[in-house]
Structures are given as structure tokens and as C-alpha cells.
A and B are shown apart, each in its own frame.
Chain A
Amino acid sequence: MSSLVRLEVRVSFSYNQKEVLKNVSFSAEEGKLLAIVGPNGAGKSTLLKCLVGILKPKGYAKLNGINLLNLKPKERAKYISYVPQSSYPEFAFTVEEFVELGSYATGGTVEDALKTVGMWERKHELVTKLSGGEYQLVLVARALAQGSNVMLLDEPTSHLDINHALRIMNLLKALKKEKVVVAVMHDLNLALNYADNLLILDKGEVRWIGKPSKLTPEVLEEVYEIKAKITEVDSLKIVTAIE
């Protein structure tokens, strides 16, 4: 059994002289799903883009000591994969061809990836013909085909119906057993109930980090500027905004 995989991050990023991420620092590890939440424009997507090399931040993202930010793209892709925010696919690849794109750097197996998300039987279909939920599963499979130790996901459940949203969350629950999984989440309730750790990002800064059970209405009020209450029904946590 290899030692626990652990990702340690400390990054700052400026765009047009404006500091978008201010010394954002956190750690994530195998076995625990980290959800990043926060208001629109908090810098959540920017943070993920910095970690996978699309943007060039200052700082580090160390995976068991190796700074991923210093690696060349092909080398970095072996350690970290990324599921971008779902947009409508522009080119009519088959499901299999599309997932194969993920195996570029590592030569990972497409079959295993598609079987994990339950889309192997549909490998010959065109991605442009899939529903939003199915396409999201294929996007996850593409990242899985990279065979990396870390997977970052940008709002994997937004625009999905409840069935597909839960399917994705259960998939992440299974994946965290063998990977560091970090997901930017739009839906606070899904994040509260599925994540092991919660990070609240606001205006490019970490405002709160901890276990979902420790989150208080006061923190939400401060960050989202709403009055909220957190209730628990059958061990299910529900955030409701109150006037």
C-alpha cells in the first residue's frame, strides 16, 4: 500500500494588475472530497485553471512534494486531471474518441474510464447527441482516462437534473477512495452532504475551511450576504435562505 496522496496548494494570481487569487492556501488528500464553494466571481474556476496549467499563477501546488506548477504540460497531465465546466460539445467525436483525448499524455485505458462512468455501451454514439448529464459523465471519463492521482472538477452538477447530479456525486464519492478529488460546487446543499471538507472562497480569498458539520449560518451570512438557516433532516443538511 502506497502512502497517502496529498496535495498542498498556495497560489496567487493577477490578471490585468488585479489580484484575482490572494494567497489561496489549502490542502486536500486521498479519501476526502474537498468542495470549493463561494459566490459568483469568487475566483473558484480561476483557481482550478491555475492548478492545471491553463493559467500561470505564483506559488506552488505540491503533490507529495512535487511542484506540479513547474512541470511541462505532458508531465503535469500524468498527475492531475481536470473536468471543465460543461459547455455544448462543438465537434462530433464519438464517445470513445472523445475520451481517448484524455489518454494523450499517459496512454490510459479508455475502456476502464468509460466503464467506471457507465457509458462503455454507448462508446459509438456521438457526443453531440448526448444529454447534458450523459455528456458530463463522458467529461469525467475523459479526465479518468488520464489515470492521474488528482482530479479537479468545475461545477460538475450545474445544469443537471437531480438524477444525474446525484449520479455524479456518488461517482465522486467512489473516486475519492483512490484519488484526491477537488470539486468546485455551485449547489451548497450537495456540497454540504457529499463533501468531507468545505472551502469557502470569496473575492479571491479563503474565507472559511473545515468540515461541513461545522459550518454556521453566521459564516454564510458574512460571505453570501443573506440570512440563512441550516437544518438537519434524517442526517441530511439543508441550507435555506430566510428573509
Chain B
Amino acid sequence: MKKLIPLLISSVLLILLGIAVGPVRISLSGILASFSLENIKIAFSSPNMLEENAYIILQIRLPRIILAYLVGVSLASAGTASQALFKNPLADPYIIGISGGAAVGASLAALYFPQYMSISALFGAVLAVFTVYKIAKVNGHIPVDTLLLAGIALGFFTSALTSYLLYVRKEGIHNAIFWLMGTFNGSEWDDVKLVLFSSTLGVIFLFFTWKELNLLLLGEESISMGLDINLYRKLIIGVISLLTSFAVATSGIIGFVGLISPHAMRIVFGPNHKRLLPASALFGGSLMVFADILARMLLRPSEIPVGIITALFGAPFFIYLLMKKKRGELLG
């Protein structure tokens, strides 16, 4: 577990960096002063009374960075679990269409019942993952090609549905586009609370099922070792959906973090989920905060949707994985 320490340190450093940088320059003393006990009290009672610098730090940057970190943790953990569930290192909530399903749920809710966005996203995600699972399964196995094709087909379908729903809503097209590409712009403490709930629940569950996740890698064989495979498949589908849908409901569709994190960490920590899960979660959080810093800084003072950054890094990585797979080198 000593190997996790560098990941913890990088998480903390990136979070601090994320708080320090932004379109408005705030000196280090200004940042530290924002965290005075008095300011924190005001932030809890009447945040609008905060003076400008403290408001930027406590009400804009801090919730944004924490949300980005938690969404990164959620997506990386969901990615790790998807790869065990599908016995396939190319699985990721985005590529296999779960994010798309969640997006349909969320945009449907935005149109008709905005207070239930997360729940509706969760429903969409569960529906999507079951659909992909059913389509992709061939004789009890999930081959890469059917998995990707099922994911792509569902992705097109859900993306069309989501676009239609956002189109008929008509208002706030700019925000809608940002949301479709994934963004932490305008994050609030309420979003943080939601994702804190889903990520805590999901990640703790996964940590407790590391043995089952290891066994799932063996597929049907694991039944002979005592795994109730149907039960755990359902539970893990539920958790992946929870983690992904709450992330999508608060910050839109952000791809590839769930793919890259478990992969990078498997190279260092191996396939054992006892170490892979925490490593992947910490790495995913850091990666997301890093991507968000780039999203805010590259075209300062305006910003880029963070999903564009993760896709620009993630898609070439995905192609690299596919080529390895083609050469038969892709192993856990």
C-alpha cells in the first residue's frame, strides 16, 4: 500500500493547484485568508455576504475542484468495475454507452421534472447497461467487437435522443452544449453533496467486493469457486450505474477517465482489485482535476468543456489499446 502514497500526494497537490489558478488572479495570502474561520462561517450561513476573493475561492473554485475530484473518483471506479464485469479491458462507462443512457435520463428530467435529474439519470444508466449486456453477450462471453458495437450503437441512439430533448427545451443552448461535452463550470455545493453521496456509497461497496471483482475476471469458472455470479453481476451493474449517473447528472458526459485510470494503474499495481481499486480511484480524481485545470487555463479567460480535454487525451490512448489488442499484447 506504500505505492499509494505518491497518488495521495499528487491528489492533494492538484487540488491545491486547482484552487490557486483561475481567470481571476488571487495572491497566496488572499487564498489563505479566504479560509479564515470567519469566512467559512459566513459561507455556511449567507455565502452572498462573502467579500469577492473569499467568494471566488469558497463558492466557486472549491466546490468545482472537489466535484471534479469526486467525479474522477466515481468514473475511474466505475471503469475499473466495468472492466471486471465485462472481463474486458476496453470497457468504460462512456464507451459502452452507460454515460449516454444517463444523459438521456438527465435531459428528460431537465425538461419535465428537474428536481429528479440524478434519479432519472440513474434509471437511464441501468437501462443502458442492461441493454449493452444483453446485446453484446455471445454464448456467455462478451467479445470485444460485440461490446464496442453495442456501445457505439447505443451511444448514437442516446446521443440523438439527448440532442432532441435539449433542442425541444430551446432555452440555454450554450449551457446544454457545455453539459453534453462535460463541464464543471457553475458547480455548486449541492452538486458536491450529491456526488459525495453516490461516490462514497459506490466506492465503499466496491472496496468490500474486491475478491468478487477478482473472481469475475475468471467468468463462469468462478461459480465453481463459490461466486454467486448472477447476484454479483447485478449488484455491480447497479453500482456502476449509480457512480456514472450521478457524475453525468452534475457534470455532463466526460469520457475516457474510466478507461485510462484502471489501465494506467494496472501496469503499476497488477490486476488484483485490492490494490487496483484504490489506486484507480485516486488516479481518476487527480486526472480529472488536472483536466479541469487545463480546461480553465488553456483559453483563459474563457474555458473549454473538460470532456474535450479528456477525449483529446483519451481517444489516442484508446486507439493505442486497440492496436495492442490486435497484436495480442493486451493483458491485465
- Which A residues lie at the B interface, using CB under 8 A? 52-54, 72-78, 80-82, 84, 90-94, 97, 101-102, 104-106, 126, 128, 142, 146
Contact = CB atoms under 8 A, between A and B. Distances in A.
Nearest to B228: A73
B211 interface: yes
B226 A91 contact: no
B270 A94 contact: yes
A84 B222 CA distance: 10
A101 B215 contact: yes
Contact of A104 (B87, B215, B271, B332): B215
A73 B270 contact: no
Given A73-B228, A101-B215, A54 B221 contact: yes
Given A91-B271, A101-B215, A77 B224 contact: yes
24 contacts: A54-B220, A54-B223, A72-B228, A73-B223, A73-B228, A73-B229, A75-B226, A77-B224, A81-B224, A84-B224, A90-B217, A90-B332, A91-B332, A92-B331, A93-B272, A93-B332, A97-B214, A97-B270, A101-B218, A102-B225, A104-B226, A106-B226, A142-B225, A146-B225
B84 to A, nearest CB: 9
B221 A76 contact: no
Interface string B115-134: 00000000000000000000
A97 B218 CA distance: 13
Nearest to B221: A84
A101 B223 contact: no
A105 B218 CA distance: 15
Given A73-B227, A77-B226, 11 more contacts: A52-B224, A54-B220, A54-B224, A72-B228, A81-B224, A84-B224, A90-B87, A91-B217, A93-B214, A101-B215, A101-B222
Pick from B211, B222, B332 the residue with the most CB of A within 10 Å.
B332
Contacts of A105: 225-226
